[in-house]
Amino acid sequence: MANNLLIFPLLIPLVAAVLQIFGRSHIRFQRIVGAVSMLLCVGIAVVLVGEVHMSGIQILPMGGWVAPYGIVLVADMFAALLVLTSSILGAVCLFYAFASIGEEREKHHFYPFFQFLLVGVNGSFLTGDLFNLFVCFEVMLISSYALIVLGGTKRQLRETLKYILINIVSSSLFVATMAYLYAATGTLNMAHLSERITEVGQNGILSVIALMLLTVFSLKAGLFLFYWLPGPYTSPPTVVTAIFAALLTKVGLYAIMRTFTLIFYQDMGFVYTLIGWLGIVTMILGVIGAIAYREVNRILAYNVIAGVGLIAFGLATANRAGLEGAIFYMLHDMIIKALLFMLAGIMIGAAGTARLQQMSGLIKRIPLTGWMFFVSALALAGVPPLSGFVGKLLIVQGGFERGWYTLTILSLLTSLVMLYSVMRIFMLGFWGKERPLADEQKEIPDEVYREWITEAGNPSLLPDASENVLDHRWGTFRPKALMASASVLFVLVIAIGLGAGWIQTYIAEAASVLVQPAVYVQAILGGG
Amino acid sequence: MEIWMSIAVGILFAVAVYLILSRSLLRIILGTSILTHAVHMLLMTMSGLKTGAPPLLGEESGSYVDPLPQALILTSIVINFGVTAFFFVLAYRSYLRLKTDDMEEVKRKGGQ
């Protein structure tokens, strides 16, 4: 039942990245290769979703070695849908990058890093082996370090230091956890692990290992342990924050969902309750952060955290409705977060600043962006005809079925605060009296520029801006092209909302594997 | 034997955590290096330290040591080597740029 299609979401971006490294100074070539690669990925992901829909879970044992001995790639509906979403977001963000990232970054390997990031993300979604998941995580993280720091402003350097440190620690913990798991079970293949743990039952040591894995993935996903997140997500250029917000935390969430529905699903009353509480606390802290700040990027970064909390809560209800809701909301959340960051990038460019106090009346300058932002904000909060509604509805239903009335109502209240936080961006930013373009560049004194030149020793190493805001000075980027890529996602948000019933059949299929892990194990080990 | 290794790993973890919590950036990087050492030793220990031939078929032994964790450690070493090299260069760059390796100063000078 080997299906070679599964390798392509990894292989295509990998080959594209290598080609782009060779064509370093030919920006046009790099762009074409990147665009072709991403569009191919989207096409293949669509075919993959179709095949999984028609004929069940697809697997690819690498090198022909059967499941527990070799590495196996697995595409169930959940993974296939996530690969599709990440490919679409990759394509859209790439086109957004064409119009905004700037020549200096393009020459310094922005596109290869971008492609490697997608290799890591797609690999994490498709792998069926825990150690391979670690390797894919590292591929993704190392590209993300480079993407954050590329440009080398003071703020980027500082935030990358923090980001690398936290990720080295969490990766080390991941390897340590795998050591314990290997000692306890003697395997690292997920399906095989699931089978072995079913045989021996979930004893104390396995629960400890499960908690360690939860800690590791929570660090990656920003579930409660999110304190590293706002800084690195606000310092790089907009397109990088958009792709991070859409993909990176969701990979951690995917790992949590996969681990706790496939491997550690017995006797998990305690851990599921813990995940539920962590989700609620994350949501509350996230929305507190979202209303505490007055910087567009930062408000959205805290909304990312709140979204993670809600998805984790959906998982923790551990019933069908809750899991379907979590999957639906996760797909919606990936798209809407990328869209909001993109629109915020256009806003920041139009206003010349990220601070809400310094912007108002933007609706006159960029009316289309304004209304798009308005509708996206409604979609984020889950207003009925739009994409966020069905996911939230199902999560709430799952919460009630589980009997967590107070927690579920709390999660609904945080949705309100979420809506308030983004509506505040809309009202302060777009309404009111129009202001002249705030030129933040004036705030950088001449001696700072001179200092840059002397320390770099080479004007080409000179960063073009002291803050990411300045990458988007009006006129140095192409707002129309940016709007075009953002509108693709906007259409998608509307379409997901309107076509929720149609998408629901796929989501239900994805959730059915999560509630019946035996199906997954059977597909990998049974056919062997 | 596993007991002694576990104690050694525990000491390494303690040293690593202590170093990572310090203010100097260089000490932090050393801490992460020691942390990854500890983790690799842990992986080796947890897969069993029973005596056996090196995992080479030419040895023609009755029993071999487990080859899988060795491959895992090798992978992990290379990854950590790459990350540590990047971390060092990043620290160098931020030293040139921010003129300090004190994390409190870095926090202050990094701007908003």
Q: How many C-beta neighbours within 10 Å does residue A12 have?
A: 23
Q: Per-residue pLDDT tens for B57-78?
A: 988 888 899 999 999 999 999 9
A255 vs A177: CA distance, rounded Å: 14
- DSSP category for residue A70: S
Record: contact B110-A145, CB cut-off 8 A? no
B residues 36-75 lying closer than 8 A (beta carbon) to A: 36, 38-40, 42-43, 45-48, 68-69, 72, 75
If you count DSSP H runs as helices and E runs as strands, how many of each does chain A have, helices first? Answer: 23, 2
* Nearest by CB: A158 against B48, B76, B106: B106
ipTM of the complex, rounded to two decimals = 0.95
Q: What pLDDT, on the 0 to 100 scale, is given for residue A444?
A: 44
Q: Report the residue of B3, B27, B30, B35 to disrupt the A interface, i.e. the one with the largest count of A CBs within 10 Å.
A: B35
Cα nearest neighbour of A231 on chain B: B112
When pLDDT is cut at 50, 70 and 90, the band that residue A439 belongs to is low
Q: What pLDDT, on the 0 to 100 scale, is given for residue A363?
A: 87
Give me the total of CB pairs closer than 8 Å, taking one residue from chain A and one from chain B: 103
Highest averaged pLDDT of the listed ranges A148-162, A279-293, A341-355, A420-434 = A279-293
Contact in structure between A463 and A391 (CB atoms under 8 Å) = no
Record: contact A155-B97, CB cut-off 8 A? no
Q: Amino acid identity of A267?
A: D
Burial readout A221-244 (b: 16 or more C-beta within 10 A, e: otherwise)? bbbbbbebbbbbbbbbbbbbbbbb
* Nearest by CB: B28 against A165, A180, A467: A165
Q: Which of A47-51, A469-473, A493-497 has the lowest mean pLDDT?
A: A469-473
Cα pseudo-dihedral A165, A167, A170, A171, rounded to 10: -110
Record: contact B109-A183, CB cut-off 8 A? no
CA distances from B14 to B31, B34, B37, B38, B40 (A): 10, 10, 12, 10, 15
A40 vs A55: CA distance, rounded Å: 22
Chain B residue numbers touching A466 (CB-CB < 8 A): 111
Record: contact A155-B69, CB cut-off 8 A? no
Chain B residue numbers touching A155 (CB-CB < 8 A): 110-112
Residue A457 pLDDT > 70? no
Q: Per-residue pLDDT tens for A61-96?
A: 988 888 788 999 999 999 999 999 999 999 999 999
Record: contact A175-B76, CB cut-off 8 A? yes
Q: Per-residue pLDDT tens for A297-322?
A: 999 999 999 999 999 999 999 889 99
Chain A residue numbers touching B32 (CB-CB < 8 A): 165, 168-169, 172
Handedness of CA A291, A295, A296, A297 (dihedral sign): negative
Residue A103 pLDDT > 50? yes
Handedness of CA A44, A5, A33, A475 (dihedral sign): positive
**Average pLDDT, integer, range B86-104:** 90
**Average pLDDT, integer, range A410-436:** 90
Question: Which stretch of DSSP H or E encloses residue A366?
Answer: none
Q: Report the residue of B25, B83, B89, B98 to disrupt the A interface, i.e. the one with the largest count of A CBs within 10 Å.
A: B83
If DSSP states are collapsed to H, E and C, what string results for A440-503?
HHHHCCHHHHHHHHHHHCCHHHCCCCCCHHHHHCECCECHHHHHHHHHHHHHHHHHHHHCHHHH
Contact in structure between A277 and A354 (CB atoms under 8 Å) = no
Model confidence, pTM? 0.92
Q: Which of A21-35, A195-209, A382-396 has the lowest mean pLDDT?
A: A195-209
CA distance B60 to chain A (A): 22
Chain B residue numbers touching A182 (CB-CB < 8 A): 43, 46-47, 68-69
| A221 three-state secondary structure | helix
